[in-house]
Structure 1
Amino acid sequence: MARGFGRVFSGVKRLVTLSVMWSMKHPIYSVSLRRPPARSMAGFSLPFSKPHDFSLPNPAWSPEMLQLYNHYNGMCDVETEGGEKKEGKWVRIPGYNRILKYATGGVYISKMIQSKARLFTRNIREPGAGFEYALFVNRKEQKCVGIWQLGHLLEGPPGHVHGGAIATTIDTVTGCLASLSGAVMTANLNINYRSPIQLGSTVVMESVVDKKEGRKTFVSCKVTSPDGTKLHTEATALFLSIDISQLILGR
């Protein structure tokens, strides 16, 4: 058994060594293997800084975007002056610059690339140029609301948002809702585009869980104007619950 463990360890060590050598030959794709500098706060040394929440208001947000954000955020959990927590109807989901936690090959490989991994919806750092959004979920009613402002770098038809970018936003909102009960992966996404979305405009995405059958979760979604009078897109999605170990082992 010890001999078998030694072979596994040697294999992992060789894989990491080869990956480092490849990164040295291809610096454009290389990532830093050094631990981030420690941050000091109130006398304590922190090895890693807290991830940045991209779903908080910034100067690029339109008045409509900010108004909708304040509306739903006002119905979230709050802490009173006395330190007590007052439960709200909705919960805001942070838009972190998520690091990669799982990768084929295990934790050794994920540690090497996690410093560069980002959510697809956060691959544009310029405020207002790409995806600006905030997500709110209602566990009791099995609903998720996404407030989106889609920037000029997401153009498809002249002056309007690319259909693929709209599909990304729908997959994000419906997937967020489906994953409340555990890890899931998209199995099917069916979209009907009703009317185009102008670049820079704000839209509201409302999704709800229609039913669950074993590993399957069925979710529907509507994309409308902020006042709900104009329907832009309708969609249905099917998600399958997954075992995280399957991702790690690459099965």
Structure 2
Amino acid sequence: MQTLPSFLSFKPRDFSLPNSSWGSEMMRMYDHYNSQCEVETEGGEKQEGKWRRLPSYNRLLKYATGGLYLSKMIQSNARLFTRHIRDPGAAFEYVLFVNSEEQKCVCIFQAGHLLEGPPGHVHGGAIATMIDTVTGTHATVLSGPVMTANLNINYRSPIPLGSTVLLESSLDKKEGRKTFIRCRVTSTDGSKLHSETSALFLSITVSHLLLGV
């Protein structure tokens, strides 16, 4: 049997899949949404559900169409900020699901020990990073490539290190190049509100990314 050359058989690591660092609540929520990505009809056939899991790599550009070539041009050693730490569970552990029909996106986020701000709790900047990641990804799904224009975050209650929370993103409105998104960070049962955000993203072209304009 003929085998493929190693460079053709290489598969990038998908960081949105479960690993040994995921706690029971992270796994429970993952199973809850992942089970809705594919449903069984009355006839026993499988079909797409209302949710879709988004794969996540350590660099967005590298695994996009034509990205391997472009990544050599634009700092090939760059890594996505939330995915550059190799140690599972140490920092940002998260997975995103999108619901195109309802124009919603949900993120299950487990905060690692390297994200400490106030003793025993997650740094506000790390929370903002996750909010920007989730709302930006959601805006990209809705409008194509975008860049953040504004994030307005109201922090309501701290997030304990090691805990699992939900980030729920929804479309507010679209006006030309502008996409307005709202996001809530809550406990997984929805009983505690950690933060509320309104965000604005501007649609861009690939030339904006390549030329930095």
1:126 counterpart (78, 82, 87): 87
Q: Would you say how many aligned residue pairs link Structure 1 and Structure 2?
A: 207
User: Which residue number in structure 1 is paired with residue 52 of structure 2?
Assistant: 91
For 1:141, the equivalent position in structure 2 comes to 102
Work out whether 1:43 is the aligned partner of 2:3.
yes
- 2:176 alignment partner in structure 1: 214
Change (3 A) 1:43 1:207: same
What's the CA shift string for 1:7-55, capped at 9, x where partnerless? xxxxxxxxxxxxxxxxxxxxxxxxxxxxxxxxxx952225252211011
Corresponding residue number in structure 1 for 2:65: none
List runs of 5+ in structure 2 lacking aligned partners. Answer: 63-67
CA deviations over 1:47-78 (Å, ceiling 9, x no partner): 25221101111111110000000000000036
State how far apart, in whole Å, the 1-side matches of 2:50 and 2:136 are.
20
- The aligned amino acid for 1:202 is T
Measured in 1, the distance between the counterparts of 2:30 and 2:70 equals: 38
In structure 2, distance between residues paired with 1:114 and 1:91: 31
Structure with the higher fraction of residues in helix conformation: 1
For residue 238 of structure 1, what is the aligned residue in structure 2? 200
Deviations 1:62-108 (A, max 9, x none): 1000000000000003699xxx751111000011122545xxxxx97
Distance 1:239 1:189 in 2: 9
> 2 CA distance for matches of 1:119 and 1:216?
24
Amino acid paired to 1:137: V
Alpha-carbon offset, residue 241 of structure 1: 0.2
* Helix, strand or coil at the partner of 1:206: strand
For the pair 1:60 / 2:48, whether they are aligned, the reply is: no
What TM-score does the superposition give when structure 1 sets the normalisation length? 0.76
Deviation at 1:124, TM superposition (A): 1.4
Aligned mates of 2:21, 2:85 — CA distance in 1: 13
- Secondary structure of the equivalent of 2:86? coil
C-alpha contact (below 8 Å) 1:210/1:218 kept by paired residues: yes
Q: What runs of 5+ residues in structure 1 fail to find an aligned partner? A: 1-40, 102-106
Aligned to 1:196: 158
Percent sequence identity over aligned pairs: 70
- Taking structure 2 as the reference length, what is the TM-score of the superposition? 0.88
